[in-house]
Amino acid sequence: MNATARPAVVRNKRRLPLPVLLSIITLVILVGGVLLAPVLAPYGPTEIDLRGRLQPPAWLEGGAGTHPLGTDAAGRDVLSRLLYGGRSSLAIGAVACLLGMLLGTPLGLLSGYFRGPVDQVVMYLVDVQLSMPFVLLAIAVALVLGVSVPVLIGIAALSTWPYYARVVRGAVLSLREQEFVTGAVALGADRLRIMGRHLLPALVSPVMVLLTLNLGRIVLLESGLSFLGIGIRPPAPSWGNMIDDGRSYLNTAWWISLMPSLALVLLTMAVGTLGDWLRDRSDVMTGE
């Protein structure tokens, strides 16, 4: 390849693919909307107006600009509940992902570095966790501890830590054979120093990619639990219980369930696309 063609190739590598660019724009709109819910929402999320119940979106016959996405069976504004419900869903998803990362990453690091009995115990716990029907486990925990936001976050975090442990363990098994680790061992560095200063920084990229991929899954999980009645309890909105609220009105007021469902689809697709791109880019950078 000649010198004049090389800069063009570099620019093409740095240019974001169209699906990734659209995913970033989608995430900015969704996250920005839910963060600015107190400013953007035209009504309170639990504000009831029985005279305006089941009003269609503004672009349909019978709709009005005062309720752009329509109202539900209690006359509550769907747009306002969508924005405030997104705050609950995204906050629970983000905190649960961070907790799962903080639990799974050290366990995977210890498992991959020490191997032997430590590896066997950690991988046994991972296999047990992944073999359990998670919905049944979530229902059992909710029945014992009650339904609350901290319990919901704990349930979601419990579902995600094994993924971090397995990915980190696999990466450490490869990294511990690299020259920079064997060199540190030869120089007399202790195990904690090797794990903290040499291995942990090398794990940042795969862990961040996994964090991105898990966010959409956890938000979807929280919505599913709320849909089943063991998540965010009405009248507080979440995307899951909004979908549940509209089940009885799918033939007459489909927008009640459609709007939060569409938000969930857009979020999971955008996060998944961005996570896949980051993973591919991380693999390329590692190969280089």
CATH number of the domain where residue 187 is located: 1.10.3720.10
On whether residue 214 sits in a domain, the answer given is yes
- Check residue 10 and give its pLDDT: 44
- Check residue 103 and give its pLDDT: 92
* Three-state SS letters, 63-110: CCCCCCCCECCCCCEHHHHHHHHHHHHHHHHHHHHHHHHHHHHHHHHH
- Check residue 13 and give its pLDDT: 52
Q: List beta partners, residue 77.
A: 71
Domain limits for position 258: 43-287
On whether residue 110 sits in a domain, the answer given is yes
On whether residue 22 sits in a domain, the answer given is no
- Check residue 99 and give its pLDDT: 92
Tell me the C-alpha distance between 16 and 277, whole Å.
Answer: 9
Tell me the C-alpha distance between 78 and 72, whole Å.
Answer: 6
Q: What is the mean pLDDT of each run of 10 residues along the chain (288 residues)?
A: 46 71 91 90 89 89 87 91 89 89 91 87 89 79 80 85 90 80 72 78 83 83 79 82 87 90 90 82 55
Number of structural domains, the chain?
1
On whether residue 188 sits in a domain, the answer given is yes
On whether residue 33 sits in a domain, the answer given is no
Q: What are phi and psi of 231, to 5 degrees?
A: -120, -135
Amino acid at 185: V
On whether residue 132 sits in a domain, the answer given is yes
Query: The pTM is what?
Result: 0.80
On whether residue 228 sits in a domain, the answer given is yes
Quick one: 31 exposed, middle or buried, by C-beta within 10 A (0-12, 13-18, 19+)? middle
On whether residue 28 sits in a domain, the answer given is no
